[in-house]
Amino acid sequence: MILTDAFWPVFALSSWFSGQQQHQHDESLANGGHHHHHHGHHGHHGHVQPFPGHTLYKLNDGNYIPSPAWGTGTATAREGNATLLVAQALEAGWRHIDCSLIYRNQNGTGEALTASGVPRGELYITSKYDSLTNQSVHEELGLTLAQLQLDYLDLYLIHFPRAAVNGGGLKKVWREMEEVKKMGLVRSIGVSNYDSVELLEEVLEVAEVFPAINQINYSVYNAVDKAPVVALGTQHGILTSAYGELRPITSSPNGPADIIGKQITDRLSKDYGKEVTYAQMIFSWLKSTGVVAVTTTSNKERLKEQVVPFGKDFPLVTAAEARAFEASGWGYKD
């Protein structure tokens, strides 16, 4: 099959090798290598990894992003429980919290961040421009920062292509994104749901500063379809960030990818010396192929379980396993 031969090596292998380098990078951080924080906001000491238990990826702007992120965009978090749930995630060791104005719970999230007592430099906070009220990026970001009780974000994304249209067009909105980065109100900028080559190319055409991240719906059941946009990103140093990666467990159980998924899970269990869950295998697949994970759970046990694969001693999925897993989900519509 031409597609497989021509395509996969570019996608799965190059991303897998970046995953391997990443792993070594983690090791060097953990062993006292120098890390990235040069600015005064961050009070880290020489050799301590800034986000223990997380996998760090270097972005094309020189900053680092920790994976996984705990997403606040679920119904449970929206119903006034955000403060409790974010507090619970922080308590379980999660340090990257993924927010948005449209989730209508940033006030509650901000309360949890403040109450947690975790120093700002040890948190990584993402939010998104929704253009809900046709405000400029700067205005809407001001509202987000006020709600979250922060003076800067680590990452700010255009939430979906429609937000750029509503905000006065992609060219104008991306300029404003570049501007708030220059002002130091956000460390990194990116996009979300620009999940086709055409959409991402539109951004590249207007950008002076390329996006650092493209956050998309990404799972074993659309990985082959999304391979071209992931590859385009990789070409420009744009990291893919995945939400919806647990689809084989949450919305498509007993789908065709489960057979090989379970085989890889068994192999990981053997290498790890203790039982690995299917969800952990999925996170290891993302980690091994260089994709940042955004996920969410309100279950305390699962909060602990889901962060395990991002530690440096957790076994990686091999390139061959990743390709087989991704191919097994191709074309499945449930």
Residues paired with 98 in a beta bridge: 71, 126
Distance CA 173, CA 263 (A): 45
Element containing residue 191 per DSSP (H, E): strand 186-192
Q: What is the pLDDT at residue 47?
A: 53
CB 126 within 8 A of CB 156: yes
Decide if 30 is inside a domain. Answer: no
**Residue 103 a catalytic site member:** yes
- Total structural domains within the chain: 1
Decide if 254 is inside a domain. Answer: yes
Q: Which domain holds residue 250?
A: 43-328
Distance CA 187, CA 64 (A): 10
Catalytic residue among 25, 54, 96, 103: 103
pTM here is: 0.88
Distance CA 258, CA 260 (A): 6
Q: What is the pLDDT at residue 133?
A: 84
Distance CA 299, CA 70 (A): 12
Q: What is the pLDDT at residue 48?
A: 65
Catalytic residue among 25, 35, 54, 159: 159
Instruction: Please give the single-letter amino acid code of residue 206.
Output: V
Decide if 194 is inside a domain. Answer: yes
**Residue 25 a catalytic site member:** no
Decide if 20 is inside a domain. Answer: no
Decide if 27 is inside a domain. Answer: no
Phi and psi at residue 241, to the nearest 5°? -120, 135
Distance CA 212, CA 190 (A): 5
Decide if 34 is inside a domain. Answer: no
Decide if 17 is inside a domain. Answer: no
- Ordered DSSP codes for 112-156: HHHHH---GGG-EEEEEE--TT---HHHHHHHHHHHHT-S-EEEE
- Over the chain (334 residues), what is each successive 10-residue block's mean pLDDT? 31 41 41 40 54 97 98 89 96 98 96 97 98 93 98 98 97 98 98 98 98 98 98 98 97 97 98 98 98 96 97 96 97 85
We report the CATH number of the domain holding residue 72 as 3.20.20.100
Decide if 25 is inside a domain. Answer: no
Query: What distances in angstroms separate CA 14 from CA 11, 17, 79, 212, 288, one per listed residue?
Result: 6, 5, 41, 18, 11
